[in-house]
Amino acid sequence: MRLIDSETVAIRQETDLLLVRQLVRQRAAELGFRKLGQTKAVTAASEIGRNTLIHGGGGKMLLQTYVELARRGLRLTFEDHGPGIADVERAMTDGYTTAGGLGLGLGGTKRLVDEFDLASSVGMGTRVTVTLWT
């Protein structure tokens, strides 16, 4: 797997989420993702980006593009230094919410992407990495 490009976006306020969504859609299109793949990438970025802002108090997204044999990949890593997730397994359960939403964010995002990794430490923050392949 060869890294093609990398870019970091700060997530400090609501308007930063718009930039995240636009950048992810643009990169997915450039990599040759079809419309459905672009929508999945943008939805995943929006869900995790919003969690980074609301629950993590802000952070950053690292967007990386890869090529591996005949396919291209988009990897998004969201990181914050917020309170962390005390019970990751519970947080991944559909219907679980701490913000009064539908509780579909993490579990739903995992189903949208090809690879999903979540690491969180209470008091240290959270890192979520998702990867989609063409």
- Selecting from 2.60.40.10, 3.10.310.10, 3.40.50.300, 3.30.565.10, what CATH number does the domain 2-133 have? 3.30.565.10
How many C-beta atoms lie closer than 10 Å to residue 88's C-beta? 13
Structure confidence by residue, pLDDT tens digits, 15-65: 999 999 999 999 999 999 999 999 999 999 999 999 999 999 999 999 999
* Helix, strand, coil percent values for the chain (each to nearest 5): 35, 35, 30
99-125 pLDDT, tens digit per residue, is 655 445 788 899 999 999 999 999 999
For residues 56 and 80, the answer to whether their CB atoms sit within 8 Å is yes
Q: Which of 82-91, 93-102, 123-132 has the lowest mean pLDDT?
A: 93-102
Q: Taking the domains of the chain in order of start, what are their residue ranges?
A: 2-133
